[in-house]
């Protein structure tokens, strides 16, 4: 989901978009409310890529969006905590969670700071193109290893990404 109209459509039944914006502001959320992991296939491939680094480990995902990636990371990791501040995404994922949520994959609704003193993980990760610095800071409170997956992908192949987008990613 890469534009606000989709979020609006999705959220209309529950809350208005300006309520979401107000909520983000009150809770210090800087990342834009856009999802990048929206299909089962994307989540499965992403988890497969992460597998060597999360196998049998305790993993925290900050800003997990729908929660699809967390579900797939559960195939490899010993324990997964998916923290997401925005309640709208959880509503959209409820049916799949009811069908498939395993007990070692937990979804925590709130900001990362609300849980940081209570969860100690091996790896903390986040997938975002905005609010990167704030999400990194949040992740560092949970684990000694932090993965900014999109940052790593860009560093591996900088020429494959738009230079302006690369630059903006670090300041928006």
CB of 28 to ligand SAM, least distance (A): 7
CB of 102 to ligand SAM, least distance (A): 20
- Toward ligand SAM, which CB reaches closer, 13 or 159? 13
CB of 64 to ligand SAM, least distance (A): 6
- Toward ligand SAM, which CB reaches closer, 1 or 75? 1
How far is 33 from 30, CA to CA, in rounded Å? 9
Residues in touch with ligand SAM (CB under 6 A) = 29, 31-37, 62-65, 83-86, 89, 111-112, 127-128, 130-131, 135, 138
- Toward ligand SAM, which CB reaches closer, 76 or 89? 89
| Long-range Cβ pairs for the range 71-74 (8 Å, 24+) | 71/43, 71/96, 71/97, 71/100, 71/101, 71/105, 72/40, 72/43, 72/44, 72/46, 72/47, 73/47, 73/105, 74/102, 74/104, 74/105
Token pair of 46 as six digits: 């992403």
CB of 128 to ligand SAM, least distance (A): 4
DSSP string covering 35-56 = -S--SHHHHHHHHHHHHHHHTT
- Toward ligand SAM, which CB reaches closer, 84 or 122? 84
| Cβ pair 38, 1 in contact under 8 A | yes
- Toward ligand SAM, which CB reaches closer, 132 or 159? 132
Which residue in the shown chain puts its C-beta closest to ligand SAM? 63
CB of 11 to ligand SAM, least distance (A): 12
């Amino acid at each position: 989901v890469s534009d606000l109209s989709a979020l609006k459509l999705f959220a209309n039944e529950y809350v208005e978009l300006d309520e979401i914006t107000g909520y983000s502001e009150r809770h210090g959320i800087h990342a834009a409310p856009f999802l990048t992991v929206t299909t089962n296939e994307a989540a499965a491939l992403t988890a497969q890529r992460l597998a060597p680094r999360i196998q049998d480990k305790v993993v925290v995902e900050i800003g997990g969006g729908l929660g699809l990636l967390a579900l797939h990371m559960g195939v490899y990791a010993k324990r997964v905590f998916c923290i997401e501040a925005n309640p709208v995404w959880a509503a959209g994922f409820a049916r799949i969670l009811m069908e498939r949520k395993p007990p070692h994959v937990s979804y925590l609704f709130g900001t990362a700071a609300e849980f940081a003193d209570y969860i100690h993980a091996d790896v903390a990760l986040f997938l975002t193109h905005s609010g990167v610095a704030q999400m990194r800071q949040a992740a560092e409170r949970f684990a000694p290893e932090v993965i900014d997956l999109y940052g790593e992908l860009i560093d591996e192949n900088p020429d494959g990404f738009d230079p302006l987008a690369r630059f903006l990613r670090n300041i928006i």
